[in-house]
Amino acid sequence: MSKATLFDAVVIGGGLVGISCALALAQQGLKLALIESSQVPEIPEDNSWDSRIYAISPGNAAWLESLGAWPALDQSRITPIAKMLICGDDESSKLEFKAYDVNAACLGYIAENRLLQHGLWTALNQSSVAVQTGMQCKSVDWQQDLALIQLNNRQSISAKLVIAADGANSWVRRQADIALQGHDYGQMGVVANFETTRPHQHVARQWFREDGVLAWLPLMGNRVSMVWSTSQVHAQELLNLSPQGLSDCVAEAGQHMLGELRLITSAAAFPLSLQSVDAVVKPRLALIGDAAHVIHPLAGQGVNLGFRDVATLAKILAQRSAYQDIGDAMLLRRYERSRKADMMAMQQVTDGLQKLFASPQPLLKKLRNWGLRLTDSQSALKKRLMAQAMI
């Protein structure tokens, strides 16, 4: 990349959402750059499993295929979800979603973070995107007709549009003085992978418990990935357990549905929070992914929400007139308006469910379990919920 090179757009952040954005806009013939502070991750040669797992909706899987990323994935490590079983905190409260009921091949796919990263980077390396890895942005100057970005190697680039894909603690968002709203849940998401003695039959399982929300996501073979959203104290207790102790604890919490468990990846934990921003766009700036919103992981929709950001932004930019500036504020506000309802709805649903199931009040406990049973009895409602989640 030469000094002061002018691009149509620069994407800052080379995670899943950022790379997909660069690919989607490059397909439109735009001159794109991508800046990522870390180096390109490599796939380990020992066939170990990544404890960071994502549930990808069928709609987003098809979209990733159109970008050339999905075919680059090792398909033997991708697990389709045939059914989802949600259990309340009493034995009679259950909610089931089946792909068969909506004539779908599956409800979604479980894939490892590094697998998705590899597929997206493979597609990116075959694209026209100018990529800078191991590089950090030092400053950005928001000018009337472009944004000028200084890198830590003394290079500078300019772009008509800056796209912030640099995560929940977005540097770009801070440089644009966009205020952040939200709160810390006081919880951690504990993740680990296990081998099981019984087959999971491609069922994703979730338990709403007094100590948090426990999810088992199916991996290929007799394996599951666990996400346990729980208090910081309980999370630390789980992390302090021996491999056998953690396996026994998780198996018991999941009612031994898959028999005995054996830990195959070290447990890790990350803090849980809710974040929203006062503005998703400014002149010459658009926020996507975690830079624009952070939600509780209980619905498994975080990365899907980010991919939908990108698809919407790409569609709106493709519809602009030949003479319209790609960083025009009016154009970018169309993206903000288009995404606002989806962002707010997902934040309100996940935040509401977290509060409902975290409450120890007996009346709310009865209400939430009654709600699960009622929803399970409404086939039309379940089909609508599945259709929305599969987009």
Candidates 310, 293, 303, 294; CA nearest to 32 is 310
Q: How far is CA 40 from the centre of its chain?
A: 19
Band of residue 6 on the pLDDT scale cut at 50, 70, 90: very high
Per residue in 280-333, pLDDT (tens digit) is: 999 999 999 999 999 888 766 779 999 999 999 999 999 998 889 999 999 999
pLDDT at 344: 81
Which helix (DSSP H) or strand (DSSP E) does residue 302 occupy?
helix 302-318
pLDDT in tens, 146-189: 999 999 988 999 999 999 999 999 999 999 999 999 889 899 99
Phi first, then psi: what are they for 308, rounded to 5°?
Answer: -70, -30
Summarised one tens digit per residue, pLDDT across range 199-249 is 999 999 999 888 899 999 999 999 999 999 999 999 999 999 999 999 999
Q: Where in the chain is the domain with CATH 3.50.50.60?
A: 5-40+115-181+274-355
159: left (phi over 0), alpha (psi -120 to 50) or beta: beta
- H or E segment to which residue 48 belongs: none
What integer best gives the mean pLDDT of the chain? 91
Closest CA to 37 of 166, 140, 149: 166
- Cα dihedral angle (309, 206, 62, 123), rounded to 10 degrees? 70
* Chain-centre distance for alpha carbon 378: 29
The gap from C-alpha 380 to its chain's centroid, in whole angstroms, comes to: 27
The predicted pLDDT at position 81 comes to 97
The whole-model pTM stands at 0.92
In 197-235, beta strands by DSSP E: 203-209, 212-219, 223-231
In this predicted structure, what is the pLDDT of residue 2? Answer: 46
Q: b/e string for 44-58 if b means 16 or more Cβ within 10 A?
A: eeeeebbbbbbbbbb
Is residue 376 within a helix (H) or strand (E), and if so which, with residue range? helix 362-376
Look at residue 90 in the predicted model and tell me its pLDDT: 76
pLDDT at 367 over 50: yes
> 361 or 105, which is more confident?
105
SS3 203: strand
Q: Which of 1-15, 60-74, 146-160, 263-277 comes out lowest in average pLDDT?
A: 1-15
**pLDDT score for 347:** 77
For the cut 50, the answer to whether the pLDDT of residue 193 exceeds it is yes
Q: Tell me which CATH homologous superfamily contains domain 55-111+185-272+360-389.
A: D-Amino Acid Oxidase, subunit A, domain 2 (3.30.9.10)
pLDDT of residue 364: 75
- CATH architecture entry for 5-40+115-181+274-355: 3-Layer(bba) Sandwich (3.50)
> Percent of the chain, pLDDT > 90?
73
Max CA pair span of the chain: 65
Confidence label for 4 from pLDDT (cuts 50, 70 and 90) = low
Mean pLDDT throughout 263-278? 94
At position 138, the amino acid (one-letter code) is K
359 backbone dihedrals φ, ψ, rounded to 5°: -75, 135
